[in-house]
Every structure is written in C-alpha cells, then in structure tokens.
Amino acid sequence: MRRVLPVLVVTLAIVVIWYVAAVWLNSAWVIDQAARAGREPSFMDILRGTMNQDRPLLPPPHQVLAELWELTVEKRITSKRSLVYHGLVTLQATMLGFVVGAILGVALAIGIVHSRTMDLSVMPWAIISQTVPIVAIAPMIIVLSNAVGIEGRTVPKTIISAYLSYFPVLVSMVKGLRSPEREQLDLLKTYNASRWQTFVKLRLPASMPYFFASMKVAVAASLVGAIVGELPTGAIEGLGARMLIGSQFGEPMIMWTALFAAAILAALLVVAVGIVQALAARAMGQVAR
C-alpha cells in the first residue's frame, strides 16, 4: 500500500490536470460558437461544451476511453475501424522485428565475444547505427524491398523494427557472455573444455539474466519501429497508419485512440516479457529480482 498510494495520487493528479487543460483548450471553440449564435455562454455551458466535442483540441480522458471501448470491444474485428485489427497488424510486425532483432543481436554478440577483429571493427558501427535516425532510412528500406520484389509492408516494417531492437540485445549479450569470471573460465580450461563447450556450458547460461533484461527494452523499441515503419509507407493498416490518417483528415479522436491503443499494446508487451522472464528465471533456478 505504501508503494501504491503515491502512484495513485500522481496518476489522479495527471487526470485532474488533463481535465482542466481540456476545458481550457476546448473552451475557445465553445465561446466562438456561442458568439456566432449571439449568446453569452455561462461557465456551465462552457464546461458542458468542452466535454464531448467532435473535434476537440484535447479530448478529456472519459471521451478517449469511451471511443477506445467502442473501437475495440464493440466493433467487429473485421471492421476497418476496429483498433484490435489495426493493433494486430502492428503487433505482427513488432513481433517479427523483435524476433529478427533478438536473433541478430545474439549472433553479433557471439561473434564479437569470440573474434577480436569483429569486436574492434563491428562494435563501433553498431553504436553509430543507433545514432543514425532510423526514420530517415525507413522510406529507403521500403523502396528497396519493393525493388527486390517484396510485396506488402510487413517485411520493411520488420526490418525497421529489427534495426531498433537488435541494439539493446547486442549490448546486453556482449556484457552477459563476458560475465563469467576468470576463475570459472580457467576451471573449464583445466577440464580441457573446447571453445564450443565453454560457450554452451558456461557463457550462455551466464548471459541469460542479461538477455532477459534487454528484452523489455527491445520489445518497446520494436513497437516504436513498427509504428514508425507505417508512417512514410502510405500504409492504411496499423496503428501508425491510423495516426497518419487522423492527422491528414483532421480527426483528433482517431489520433488519440490510436495513441492510446499503442500505449496499451506497449504496456501489454512489456508485462508479457516480464512474465516470461520470471518463468525462465525460475526454471533456471535463479531467484527472480
């Protein structure tokens, strides 16, 4: 309770600030409408008028939640407006990119740990690759994969997701594979263990906590990649595409619901990874932190 209470208070404060801001931002429209009708709006009129506009500058929380409920639970999944449908499209690219990124990150880390040459020449470029804004490259990835004859947008989105998510895995795995101590490595040497045996029996198990710690970061990054990948493609499916459509047609509610759906998806993914992490830690006999 002592840990939950401050979080609740802060969350409540955010909601209150949000309502105040919504009234403040949306009131201009109400006052303007009333002025055109030649009326002087009372404070209660303004208050009521700001709570449920069609195109609010800032929709109040209950309006966003109501819209979200309608678009997820009440709409059929096959509907073009259903956020479950668009969320699944984004989720698919996210998971593909996440898997590809994790495999790539682990593979590169294994190479870097075992080859001094790769450590020297590849690792700096891995760092540089993350300072290059992926959104600049995203349109090119789409053009290139179209040129190679790949239809659809799943592949370019997957590549962008993987580009963002491989890096945290790589960094953590390099650290994890190097985490066995000198004595442990020496012990395996006295057993005459081959490089492969050392890797499978010592380095890999030792790296697992690092691996799972990087998964949460990687899955969040992967979702950002999938959403960003939907922006410059002219995609019509996916949460990023909904945001773009809402922006182009001047429909704030579409943008807000897509944003919230993306946030909920991110939270679910992080929680899911946390559960897998706890299960794996227990299976490996480690105490979950």
Partner 1 sequence: MIWILGSLAAWAALWWVNTRIAASALAERRAGRVAAPLIFGLAMLIVWEGLVRGFEVSPVILPAPTAIAAKFAASLDVLWIDFVQTFVKGALTGWVIGCGAAVAVAVLIDRSPFLKAGLLPVGNFVAALPIVGIAPIMVMWFGFDWQSKAAVVVVMVFFPTLVNTVAGLDATDRMHRDLMKTWNASYWQALVKLRLPAAMPFIFNGLKIATTLALIGAIVAEFFGSPIKGMGFRISTEVGRLGIDMVWAEIAVAALAGTSFYGAVALAERWVTFWHPSQRGGR
Stretch near partner 1 under the rule CB under 8 A, chosen from 39-47, 60-68, 118-126, 150-158: 118-126
Task: Give the contact letters, 218-237, x = binds to partner 1 (CB under 8 A), - = no.
Answer: --x--xx--xx--xx-----
Q: Where are the alpha helices (DSSP H) in 37-115?
A: 43-50, 61-69, 83-114
Q: Of 259 and 280, which CB lies nearer to partner 1 in the complex structure?
A: 259
CB atoms within 10 A of CB 5: 9
φ, ψ dihedrals at 32, nearest 5°: -65, -45
Read off the tokens for 278: 């706890």
Separation between Cα atoms, residue 78 and residue 58, nearest integer Å: 29
Does 10 sit near partner 1 (CB under 8 A)? yes
Site string for partner 1, 179-218 (x = CB under 8 A): -------------------------------------x--
Distance CA 65, CA 240 (A): 19
Distance in angstroms (rounded) separating the CA atoms of residues 105 and 212: 13
Phi-psi region of 151 (alpha: psi -120 to 50; beta: other; left: phi over 0): beta
Quick one: 116 or 182, whose CB is closer to partner 1?
116
Interface with partner 1 (CB under 8 A), residue from 99, 137, 204, 281: 137
Q: Which residues bind partner 1 (CB under 8 A)?
A: 3, 6-11, 14, 57, 115-117, 119-125, 128, 130-137, 139-140, 143-144, 147, 216, 220, 223-224, 227-228, 231-232, 239-240, 243-244, 246-247, 250, 252, 255-256, 258-259, 262-263, 266-267, 270
